[in-house]
Amino acid sequence: MTVMLSLRDVRKAYRSASRDVNALDGVDLDLPSDHALALVGESGCGKTTLGELTVGLQRPDAGQIMHASGVDLANCRPRSLRSLRPRLQMVFQNPFASFAPHLRLHQSLAPVARRQGIAQPMIISALVDSLEQVGLSAAHLDRYPAQLSGGQLQRASLARALLCDPQYIVADEISSALDVAAQDELTRLLGRLRAQRHFTLLFITHDLGLARQVADDVCVMDAGRIVERGRADQVLDDPQTRAAKRLVDAIPRFRY
């Protein structure tokens, strides 16, 4: 099992005039290749910050984020970071903010395909392929983001990430804006895509039920630290920490 990303004592604080917030308070984490890890925890526990650090959207105040290629995302020069892009991808929580509102879908996607070295005459068919992989069709290419539903936009975001032949995708609460049926479809899709494309997945959620569907392992975060890690079933059936117990108790269940 090779490790794709390895975080050591990662710290990050958000400072403001009134107070400092320790978003991450010393996180150690290994992300194996071709592995799905769920990051669960309550709002504000540092999940999104951790996700953004692992794709280089932010830098930590201290610590190491070592990529398998030997680049330390926490301390490297911008040029080294660019060399890892665009293979580290992220799908954001709010589908309606994920695409430029003034561009049709094909206008947003075509430059990505072009930079991947796809020849001009092949671009449209490459875009259609990538949309079909996520359950959309050529008909969606001409739409503006406002003409697509939240679920469709999240699929389009996945398609955009897949165009980059990603090694790693952070899915940050990607289904929290969707209804239950769309949520279920999206998580199933994510599972299928992983089986086909073998990218490492960091699945950020506050829903342990979803985490079990998607992920091999689960990490529970609380107040900027990882407090529990284990197989998804194990954490769900036998939570060890208070934070994990609270999340397990929050899963809706039928009552008889």
Of the pair 102, 198, the CB lying nearest another protein is at 102
Closest distance to another protein from the beta carbon of 15 (Å): 16
Rounded CA-CA distance 252/180 in Å is 12
Closest distance to another protein from the beta carbon of 88 (Å): 7
Rounded CA-CA distance 129/23 in Å is 39
Bridge partners (DSSP) listed for residue 29: 7
Closest distance to another protein from the beta carbon of 242 (Å): 33
Of the pair 159, 243, the CB lying nearest another protein is at 159
Query: Quick check: 95 and 144 in contact, CB under 8 A?
Result: no
Closest distance to another protein from the beta carbon of 229 (Å): 26
Residues at the contact surface with another protein, assessed by CB under 8 A: 55-57, 82, 85-86, 88-90, 92, 94, 97-103, 111-112, 115, 157, 160, 164
Closest distance to another protein from the beta carbon of 226 (Å): 24
Task: Give the pair of three-digit tokens for residue 108.
Answer: 């947003």
Of the pair 65, 208, the CB lying nearest another protein is at 65
Of the pair 91, 226, the CB lying nearest another protein is at 91
Of the pair 41, 56, the CB lying nearest another protein is at 56
Provide the H-helix boundaries in the chain. 47-54, 78-84, 105-115, 123-133, 150-162, 180-197, 208-214, 232-237, 242-249
> Counting Cβ atoms within 10 Å, is residue 27 exposed (0-12), middle (13-18) or buried (19+)?
buried
